[in-house]
A and B are shown apart, each in its own frame.
Chain A
Amino acid sequence: GQNIDQPTEMTATEGAIVQINCTYQTSGFNGLFWYQQHAGEAPTFLSYNVLDGLEEKGRFSSFLSRSKGYSYLLLKELQMKDSASYLCASISGGYNKLIFGAGTRLAVHP
């Protein structure tokens, strides 16, 4: 079966660093994604990890450990506009099906 877990809500302070964790159990694993979604909008792509290790992209970094079924998204120098839901998703199957976690709602406050 498919199971993706991530915290429901997190809060952080502007300028700080926050780490959003995700654990997954999926069959036919082909990669782990992170998306950002503002309320009422479509998700926007942040990162894709298929190999173990850390991928850095500006203020956002994503880490994957396939042996542990674990990933995290690291956001640095938080800004108010980073307040959004962050969705962890795993891809499996021949048609690139994305299976999403429930999402983590991040609130950044001054």
Chain B
Amino acid sequence: GAVVSQHPSRVICKSGTSVKIECRSLDFQATTMFWYRQFPKQSLMLMATSNEGSKATYEQGVEKDKFLINHASLTLSTLTVTSAHPEDSSFYICSATTLMGGVYNEQFFGPGTRLTVL
């Protein structure tokens, strides 16, 4: 099956610093990647949809200047949390898919990144 990796798996940073999270599709080319955030005991909330070579589409309520998304290649998307604060502490998960038409193309999830902001 398709494999998606995330790096780092866990990061602790000081308030006010920026953190970059990488999402890679290892054995397929991902035309679209999605970024989710999950707080404890809550479900996944879609933050943004990222298409290779174009600007990300952010969900309502997600600050695009705070959560910078770059999808420069078909195998890599990055999420940068700028000026992180303790309330940004969360589990960040990416998924990747290749849109080939039809009703649905399966999303493959990365293992997640646990961000803790002190």
- CB contacts between A and B, total, < 8 Å: 56
Residue-wise, chain A 3-45 has the 8 Å CB interface mask toward B (1 for contact) of 0000000000000000000000000001100000000111111
Question: Interface residues of A, CB < 8 Å — how many?
Answer: 22
* Residues in A neighbouring B57, C-beta threshold 8 A: 95
Are A45 and B106 closer than 8 Å at their CB atoms? yes
Q: How large is the interface on B (under 10, 10 to 19, 20 to 34, 35 or more residues)?
A: 20 to 34
Binds A, one of B13-21, B69-77, B81-89, B110-118: B110-118
- Of A98, A101, A103, the contact of B107 (CB 8 Å cutoff): A98
Are A95 and B99 closer than 8 Å at their CB atoms? yes
Are B43 and A101 closer than 8 Å at their CB atoms? yes
Alpha-carbon separation in the docked complex, A87 to B109 (Å): 14
Whether B93 is near chain A, meaning CB under 8 Å from some CB there, is: yes
* Residues in A neighbouring B51, C-beta threshold 8 A: 95
Are A42 and B32 closer than 8 Å at their CB atoms? no
List chain B positions with a Cβ less than 8 A from chain A. 32, 34, 41-46, 49, 51, 57, 91, 93, 95, 97, 99, 103-107, 109-112, 114
Identify 21 residue pairs between A and B in the complex whose beta-carbon atoms are under 8 Å apart, listed by A's number.
A30-B104, A31-B103, A40-B91, A40-B114, A43-B93, A43-B109, A45-B106, A48-B104, A50-B104, A87-B44, A95-B49, A95-B51, A96-B32, A96-B97, A96-B107, A97-B34, A98-B34, A98-B46, A99-B46, A101-B43, A103-B42
List chain A positions with a Cβ less than 8 A from chain B. 30-31, 40-45, 48, 50, 87, 91, 95-103, 105
